[in-house]
């Protein structure tokens, strides 16, 4: 079993949340233990006592169970990690699992990476959800450790600057998530809701696929052995479904954008005329980004006021 440590602030908040739904006997015993810690005069000793009380009740209430069960499952993590640290997340966007290199003292041979998991304290009380979340995140970790997957943390830079790099990164992440949940589904650990959620994220990340999106999503969802290289290739150069499909750039300003405005028909006739004058050959069915649409509408309003 990989050694697991938990951040003190995560432990304390999780125990305080769990007290609300604990049995009367357990809640009373916990409060009595805290009251004894309050009576310690020395500030450092009192703080150490509080930490010990919370640590003991964290184990008593079984709040570590889902994490240690997930980490202890047989698979590609066995023997490949030095330890695991579980930290407190503040927002859902911070939650996840990642690998870090450790500072290894001279003479120590163990250079295996450190696994860090970040979760909000409330998640430790929702075992079914936490178990599913960890299954997904630990497949990410398994891929990162698998030489056959060939993971590289830094994606190749595009020729279009940081905004385009962010779009490619979002596409890569969405695509990777699709392959992970596809593999979990084939192990009987998925659900129709998960597949539908990933399909929606895939279509949002790759709007240029148009009507081909469903078929391509199925190909990636059913892929048995995805690789980092193939994910990067598709994220950077996804196929366009048709001549007028979104290619990753706005047809007007040519800046990289994740998606075009969903309703270009709302352009006023005057704003359309100004775009067609500035960009001969452009038509409304080519679409444009929301920023260009708002800019040309604002120019139209400003022109009318000046008149």
Task: Assess if residue 275 is contained within a domain.
Answer: yes
Across 16-41, average pLDDT: 94
| pLDDT at site 306 | 52
Higher pLDDT, 260 or 27: 27
User: What percentage of the chain carries pLDDT values higher than 70?
Assistant: 93
User: What's the domain count of the chain?
Assistant: 3
Question: Can you tell me the mean pLDDT for 247-273?
Answer: 83
- Tell me whether residue 39 is in a domain: yes
Residue 240 is predicted with a pLDDT of 66
Indicate whether 134 belongs to any domain: no
In a 3-state reduction of DSSP, which class is residue 226?
Answer: coil
pLDDT digits (tens, 9 = 90+) for 71-84: 988 676 878 899 99
Instruction: Judge whether 150 lies within some domain.
Output: no
- Whether the pLDDT of residue 245 is over 70: the answer is no
Q: Would residue 37 count as lying in a domain?
A: yes
Q: pLDDT at position 305, please? A: 55
Both 173 and 231 in a single domain? yes
CB 181 within 8 A of CB 195: yes
What's the mean pLDDT when you consider all of the chain? 89
For residue 151, is it within any domain?
Answer: no
Lowest mean pLDDT among 85-99, 208-222, 237-251: 237-251
Measured CA to CA, the distance from residue 159 to residue 156 in angstroms comes to 10
Q: Considering only residues 50 and 307, tell me which one the structure prediction assigns the higher pLDDT.
A: 50
State residue 243's pLDDT score: 46
Global pTM reads 0.78
In which domain, by residue range, is 290 found? 264-306
Lowest-confidence segment of 141-155, 176-190, 271-285 by average pLDDT = 271-285
Q: What number is the average pLDDT over the span 148-169?
A: 88
Same domain flag for 232 and 280: no
CA-closest candidate to residue 62, choices 31, 114, 23: 23
Per-residue confidence (pLDDT) for residue 262, from 0 to 100: 81
Predicted confidence band at 303 (pLDDT cuts at 50, 70, 90)? low
- Read off the pLDDT band of 177 (50, 70, 90): very high
Domain assignment present for residue 259? The answer is no
The answer to whether residues 226 and 271 belong to one domain is no
Pairing assessment for the beta strands 114-119 and 83-88 based on DSSP bridges: parallel
User: Tokens 């400003």 map to which residue?
Assistant: 302
Name all contacts of 94-101 with Cβ < 8 Å and 24+ positions apart: 94/118, 95/119, 95/120, 95/123, 95/133, 96/137, 96/140, 97/134, 97/137, 97/138, 97/140, 97/141, 98/141, 99/141, 99/144, 99/145
Phi and psi at residue 39, to the nearest 5°: -80, -5
pLDDT digits (tens, 9 = 90+) for 74-123: 676 878 899 999 999 999 999 999 999 877 777 677 788 999 999 999 99
> What integer pLDDT is reported at residue 209 of this predicted model?
85
CB atoms within 10 A of CB 258: 18
Does the residue 117 lie in any domain? no
Indicate if the pLDDT at residue 139 is higher than 90.
yes
Query: Could you tell me if 225 and 278 lie in one domain?
Result: no
């Amino acid at each position: 079993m990989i050694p697991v440590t938990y951040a003190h602030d995560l432990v304390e908040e999780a125990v305080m949340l769990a007290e609300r739904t604990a049995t009367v006997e357990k809640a009373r015993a916990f409060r009595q233990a805290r009251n004894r810690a309050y009576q310690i005069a020395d500030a450092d000793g009192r703080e150490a006592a509080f930490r010990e009380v919370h640590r003991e009740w964290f184990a008593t209430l079984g709040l570590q169970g889902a994490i240690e069960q997930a980490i202890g499952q047989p698979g590609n993590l066995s023997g490949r990690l030095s330890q695991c640290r579980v930290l407190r997340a503040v927002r859902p966007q911070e939650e996840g699992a990642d690998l870090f290199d450790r500072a290894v003292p001279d003479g120590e041979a163990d250079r295996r990476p450190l696994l860090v998991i970040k979760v909000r304290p409330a998640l430790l009380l929702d075992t079914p959800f936490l178990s599913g979340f960890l299954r997904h995140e630990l497949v990410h970790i398994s891929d990162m450790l698998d030489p056959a997957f060939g993971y590289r943390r830094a994606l190749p830079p595009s020729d279009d600057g940081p905004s385009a790099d962010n779009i490619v990164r979002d596409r890569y992440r969405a695509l990777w998530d699709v392959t992970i949940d596809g593999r979990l589904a084939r192990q009987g650990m998925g659900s129709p809701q998960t597949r539908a959620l990933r399909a929606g994220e895939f279509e949002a990340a790759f709007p240029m696929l148009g009507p081909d999106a469903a078929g391509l999503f199925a190909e990636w969802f059913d892929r048995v052995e995805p690789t980092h290289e193939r994910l990067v290739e598709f994220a950077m150069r996804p196929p366009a479904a048709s001549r007028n499909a979104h290619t990753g750039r706005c047809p007007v300003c040519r800046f990289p954008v994740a998606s075009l405005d969903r309703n270009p028909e709302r352009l006023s006739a005057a704003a359309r005329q100004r775009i067609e004058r500035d960009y001969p050959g452009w038509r409304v069915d080519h679409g444009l980004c929301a920023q260009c649409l708002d800019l040309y509408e604002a120019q139209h309003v400003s022109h009318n006021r000046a008149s």
